[in-house]
Amino acid sequence: MIPFIIVAVICAPLLYYVAVYREKKQHEAWERQYPPYRMSASEPVWQTRIANIRYQCNRDDIGVVIFAVKPEPNDYNADSMSIIRDDGKLLGFIRKREAHRFNRWAGGEMCSGMGMIQYDEATNKLWADIFVFPPHADDEQVETYVKKYLEWVTDVYGAEYIPDRYRQE
Protein backbone atom coordinates (compact mmCIF):
# COMPACT_ATOMS: atom_id res chain seq x y z
CA MET A 1 0.00 0.00 0.00
CA ILE A 2 2.83 2.40 0.84
CA PRO A 3 4.53 2.03 -2.59
CA PHE A 4 1.18 2.89 -4.21
CA ILE A 5 0.91 6.06 -2.10
CA ILE A 6 4.48 7.06 -2.95
CA VAL A 7 3.84 6.55 -6.67
CA ALA A 8 0.60 8.53 -6.42
CA VAL A 9 2.31 11.41 -4.57
CA ILE A 10 5.03 11.57 -7.24
CA CYS A 11 2.79 11.09 -10.27
CA ALA A 12 -0.07 13.43 -9.35
CA PRO A 13 1.97 16.67 -9.49
CA LEU A 14 3.75 15.45 -12.61
CA LEU A 15 0.45 14.75 -14.37
CA TYR A 16 -0.87 18.14 -13.25
CA TYR A 17 2.12 20.01 -14.73
CA VAL A 18 1.90 18.03 -17.97
CA ALA A 19 -1.78 18.96 -18.27
CA VAL A 20 -1.08 22.65 -17.52
CA TYR A 21 1.76 22.72 -20.04
CA ARG A 22 -0.41 21.05 -22.67
CA GLU A 23 -3.25 23.52 -22.06
CA LYS A 24 -0.82 26.45 -22.34
CA LYS A 25 0.48 25.13 -25.67
CA GLN A 26 -3.08 24.65 -26.95
CA HIS A 27 -3.95 28.20 -25.92
CA GLU A 28 -0.86 29.57 -27.71
CA ALA A 29 -1.81 27.63 -30.87
CA TRP A 30 -5.38 28.91 -30.56
CA GLU A 31 -4.18 32.53 -30.33
CA ARG A 32 -1.94 32.04 -33.37
CA GLN A 33 -4.93 30.76 -35.34
CA TYR A 34 -7.40 33.30 -33.93
CA PRO A 35 -5.32 36.32 -32.87
CA PRO A 36 -7.13 38.56 -30.39
CA TYR A 37 -7.49 42.26 -31.08
CA ARG A 38 -5.73 44.28 -28.42
CA MET A 39 -6.60 47.90 -27.86
CA SER A 40 -3.88 49.99 -26.28
CA ALA A 41 -3.82 50.35 -22.50
CA SER A 42 -4.61 54.05 -22.86
CA GLU A 43 -7.99 53.33 -24.42
CA PRO A 44 -10.62 53.06 -21.67
CA VAL A 45 -12.64 50.18 -23.10
CA TRP A 46 -13.85 47.06 -21.28
CA GLN A 47 -12.58 43.89 -22.97
CA THR A 48 -14.25 40.55 -22.30
CA ARG A 49 -16.07 37.60 -23.86
CA ILE A 50 -19.81 37.16 -24.14
CA ALA A 51 -21.27 34.62 -21.71
CA ASN A 52 -23.97 32.17 -22.87
CA ILE A 53 -23.44 33.02 -26.52
CA ARG A 54 -23.82 29.37 -27.51
CA TYR A 55 -27.46 29.48 -26.37
CA GLN A 56 -28.31 32.67 -28.25
CA CYS A 57 -26.31 32.51 -31.50
CA ASN A 58 -25.40 30.10 -34.26
CA ARG A 59 -23.01 29.97 -37.20
CA ASP A 60 -25.16 32.44 -39.14
CA ASP A 61 -24.12 35.11 -36.63
CA ILE A 62 -20.37 34.79 -37.26
CA GLY A 63 -18.65 38.09 -37.97
CA VAL A 64 -18.43 41.60 -36.60
CA VAL A 65 -21.22 42.80 -34.30
CA ILE A 66 -22.14 46.19 -32.91
CA PHE A 67 -24.22 46.02 -29.76
CA ALA A 68 -25.59 47.72 -26.68
CA VAL A 69 -25.00 46.55 -23.12
CA LYS A 70 -27.92 47.27 -20.84
CA PRO A 71 -28.62 46.46 -17.21
CA GLU A 72 -31.06 43.59 -16.85
CA PRO A 73 -31.12 42.41 -13.21
CA ASN A 74 -32.75 39.05 -12.52
CA ASP A 75 -33.14 36.52 -9.70
CA TYR A 76 -29.92 34.76 -10.70
CA ASN A 77 -27.71 37.86 -10.95
CA ALA A 78 -28.61 41.32 -9.63
CA ASP A 79 -25.77 42.82 -11.71
CA SER A 80 -26.79 41.11 -14.96
CA MET A 81 -25.97 43.03 -18.12
CA SER A 82 -27.46 41.82 -21.41
CA ILE A 83 -25.67 42.28 -24.73
CA ILE A 84 -28.09 43.13 -27.54
CA ARG A 85 -27.02 43.41 -31.19
CA ASP A 86 -28.00 46.54 -33.10
CA ASP A 87 -30.84 44.63 -34.81
CA GLY A 88 -32.34 43.70 -31.40
CA LYS A 89 -31.07 40.11 -31.10
CA LEU A 90 -29.87 39.03 -27.64
CA LEU A 91 -26.27 37.79 -27.97
CA GLY A 92 -25.60 36.92 -24.34
CA PHE A 93 -24.47 38.57 -21.14
CA ILE A 94 -21.46 40.08 -19.40
CA ARG A 95 -19.97 37.17 -17.47
CA LYS A 96 -21.40 36.85 -13.94
CA ARG A 97 -17.99 37.05 -12.28
CA GLU A 98 -17.37 40.38 -14.07
CA ALA A 99 -20.83 41.90 -13.86
CA HIS A 100 -20.42 43.75 -10.55
CA ARG A 101 -17.10 45.32 -11.58
CA PHE A 102 -18.53 46.14 -15.03
CA ASN A 103 -21.55 47.84 -13.44
CA ARG A 104 -19.23 50.01 -11.34
CA TRP A 105 -17.12 50.83 -14.41
CA ALA A 106 -20.18 51.75 -16.48
CA GLY A 107 -21.94 53.51 -13.62
CA GLY A 108 -25.03 51.38 -14.24
CA GLU A 109 -25.51 53.12 -17.60
CA MET A 110 -26.19 51.57 -20.97
CA CYS A 111 -23.05 51.31 -23.14
CA SER A 112 -22.30 50.42 -26.73
CA GLY A 113 -19.55 48.23 -28.08
CA MET A 114 -18.37 45.94 -30.82
CA GLY A 115 -16.63 42.66 -31.30
CA MET A 116 -16.57 39.56 -33.43
CA ILE A 117 -18.41 36.28 -33.14
CA GLN A 118 -16.21 33.39 -34.23
CA TYR A 119 -16.55 29.64 -34.65
CA ASP A 120 -13.94 26.90 -34.46
CA GLU A 121 -14.94 23.79 -36.44
CA ALA A 122 -12.39 21.54 -34.68
CA THR A 123 -13.89 22.14 -31.24
CA ASN A 124 -17.42 23.11 -32.35
CA LYS A 125 -16.99 26.24 -30.23
CA LEU A 126 -18.71 29.58 -30.75
CA TRP A 127 -17.35 32.63 -28.90
CA ALA A 128 -17.13 36.42 -29.12
CA ASP A 129 -14.38 38.73 -27.96
CA ILE A 130 -15.91 42.15 -27.37
CA PHE A 131 -14.99 45.73 -26.51
CA VAL A 132 -17.45 47.90 -24.62
CA PHE A 133 -16.99 51.62 -25.03
CA PRO A 134 -17.21 53.85 -21.94
CA PRO A 135 -20.68 55.35 -21.40
CA HIS A 136 -19.21 58.86 -21.64
CA ALA A 137 -17.46 58.21 -25.01
CA ASP A 138 -18.43 60.77 -27.62
CA ASP A 139 -19.34 59.91 -31.21
CA GLU A 140 -15.85 60.77 -32.48
CA GLN A 141 -14.17 58.38 -30.03
CA VAL A 142 -16.61 55.57 -30.88
CA GLU A 143 -16.10 56.17 -34.60
CA THR A 144 -12.31 55.93 -34.12
CA TYR A 145 -12.64 52.65 -32.16
CA VAL A 146 -14.96 51.17 -34.80
CA LYS A 147 -12.76 52.21 -37.73
CA LYS A 148 -9.58 50.76 -36.17
CA TYR A 149 -11.34 47.50 -35.29
CA LEU A 150 -12.87 47.07 -38.77
CA GLU A 151 -9.45 47.67 -40.36
CA TRP A 152 -7.92 45.02 -38.08
CA VAL A 153 -10.65 42.46 -38.87
CA THR A 154 -10.22 43.08 -42.60
CA ASP A 155 -6.42 42.70 -42.37
CA VAL A 156 -6.46 39.55 -40.21
CA TYR A 157 -9.61 37.67 -41.26
CA GLY A 158 -10.77 39.31 -44.48
CA ALA A 159 -13.71 41.50 -45.46
CA GLU A 160 -16.15 38.55 -45.47
CA TYR A 161 -16.29 38.77 -41.66
CA ILE A 162 -17.75 42.27 -41.84
CA PRO A 163 -21.51 42.24 -42.46
CA ASP A 164 -22.72 44.50 -45.28
CA ARG A 165 -24.49 46.85 -42.87
CA TYR A 166 -21.13 47.73 -41.24
CA ARG A 167 -19.07 48.19 -44.39
CA GLN A 168 -17.85 51.70 -44.90
CA GLU A 169 -18.32 53.30 -48.27
Domain holding 157, by residue range, is 40-166
Q: How many domains does the chain have?
A: 2
Same domain, 136 and 95: yes
Same domain, 61 and 96: yes
Same domain, 14 and 74: no
Q: What are 58-85's pLDDT values in tens digits?
A: 888 999 999 999 988 878 888 888 999 9
Q: Report the distance separating Cα 149 and Cα 108, nearest Å.
A: 25
Tell me the whole-structure pTM to 2 decimals: 0.71
Same domain, 75 and 135: yes
